[in-house]
Chain A
Amino acid sequence: MKANPIAVLLVGLLAVAAAMPARAHGPLFSPAPETIFKGGTEVTLGFHTAKTTGGGDREKEYEVFVGAEYGLTADWEIGIEVPYAWKKSNGLDANGVGDIVLDTKYQFWRRDLPGAQYKAAVFFKTKLPTGDDGGQPRIGSGSTDVIGGLATGYESRRWYWFVSGVYRVNTEGAGGLEKGDRQFLNVVGGVRPVLTEYDEPDTVVMLEVNWERAGRDDLNGAGLADTGGWELFLSPVVWWTYRQVAIRGGVQFPIAEGLNGNQATSDYRARIEFIYHF
C-alpha cells in the first residue's frame, strides 16, 4: 500500500515545529522567552514520537534528536538541532537523518523582581532540506522553511505562565508539494509544588494549551482539498532538575480539531528531553 506523503509530511512538520528549545523552565511543546547565560552551552538529547490515524492512513514516527544552544550574550543565543527519524506509514518503513534546524533567539525585554522574572523574546528558525525526501515515507520535506515568533512569560518561585505565537512559512519541497503555512498559539501555566533549596532536586509541573492551524497544501500549483485546518491540544508536562541537569517530558492530547476534508488527525505526541548546561 502506498504511503500518504501528505500525512507523513504533516507528522514530520509537526515534530519539527514542536522542537522549540527552551531555557530554564519553559514549555515543552511551545517556545519560551528564556535564553541561556552568556558563554553557556546547553546540550539536549531528546526523543519524540507521534501517531496519526484517519482518512485511511496510519502513521507513526519516532525521532531522536541532539540539540545545542550557545549564549552569545545573556539575551541572545544561537543553536542547532539534528534529528534522526524512523517513520512507519501504512506498512512502509524508512529511517535516516532528518531536516536540520538552525535557530536564534533574542530576549528583548526582561523585568527582574525579587524571586520573579518577566521576559519576552523574538526568535527565528530555518529548517534545512537535509533529510532524505526520495523514499517512502519521506524523512525530510525537501523544503527550506522559515519559522518566526514571539514568546513572553513569567517565572517565580511558585508560579509560571507563558504565552507565545509562531508563524511558519513553508516553501515548495519534494515532488512539487508546498505545505500550507502554519500558525501556532500557546498558553501555558505551571507550578512548583514544593519550594526546594538550590542544591536539592526540583520539580515543576505545567499544563500547555496548544492551538495549531495549517493552510491548504499546494501540489504543483493546485490546492489539495484534504489538507489544512486546525487542531487543539492539551499537554501536561513535568520538569525535574538538579543543578545543571534537567529531564522533562510530556504528552500532547488532541481535544478538538477542525481539519479540512478527510485526513489523518493526531492521536498523540510525546516527548522527553535530557538537558545539560555546560
Chain B
Amino acid sequence: MHRVLRTTAFALSLFLLPVIAFAAPAQYQLRVDGLACPFCAYGIEKELNRTDGVESIRIDINAGTVTVTMAEGATMTEAEAARIVEDAGFTLGGFEEVRAQASTKPE
C-alpha cells in the first residue's frame, strides 16, 4: 500500500514540477546607464512600482542594475523597460530575462 502511495506521489510530482516552473514569476535584469547615486535611483523605484505587474524590485547601485520581479503571469518587454527607465531620467543599457526562482526549476 505504502509503495503504491509513494509511486503515485512521485508520479504526481513529476507531473507538477513543470507546472510549478511555468507558474514562477518572470524576472528581468535591467542595466541602467546613468545610475550614480541612491537618491537619484529612487525615481526608478517609483516609476517601476507604478507599473502594472511589477511585484518587487532590487537596485544594485554599484553594479548599475535593477532586478525586477513580476507578479505571476505578468511580463515586461524591453520597450516597456526602456520607457520606464527613460521616465526616471536614465537610459536602458541592457535588458535580460532571468529565472525567478531557481529552486522551482525542473532538473
Q: Which residues of A contact B (CB under 8 A)?
A: 23-25, 34-40, 73-75, 110, 112-117, 155-157, 192, 195-200, 202, 204, 239, 241-244, 246, 277
Contacts and interface: CB of A to CB of B under 8 A. Distances in A.
Contact of A110 (B34, B40, B41, B47): B34
A277 B42 contact: yes
A24 B46 CA distance: 15
Contacts of B88: 37-38, 74
Interface in B10-33: 31, 33
Most interface-central of B37, B87, B88 (chain A CB within 10 A): B37
B91 interface: yes
Looking at chain A's contact residues, is the secondary structure mostly helix, strand, loop, or mixed? loop
Contacts of A112: 33-34, 90-91, 93
- Tier of interface size on chain B: 20 to 34
Contacts of A75: 89
Given A74-B88, A114-B33, A116-B34, A241 B39 contact: yes
Interface of B: 31, 33-44, 46-47, 50, 59-62, 64, 86-91, 93
B38 A202 contact: yes
A198 B47 contact: no
Contacts of B90: 112, 117
A243 B87 CA distance: 18
A156 B87 contact: no
A74 B46 CA distance: 13
B87 A155 contact: no
12 contacts: A23-B40, A112-B90, A115-B62, A117-B90, A156-B36, A157-B36, A198-B41, A198-B59, A202-B38, A243-B38, A246-B39, A277-B42
A114 B42 CA distance: 17
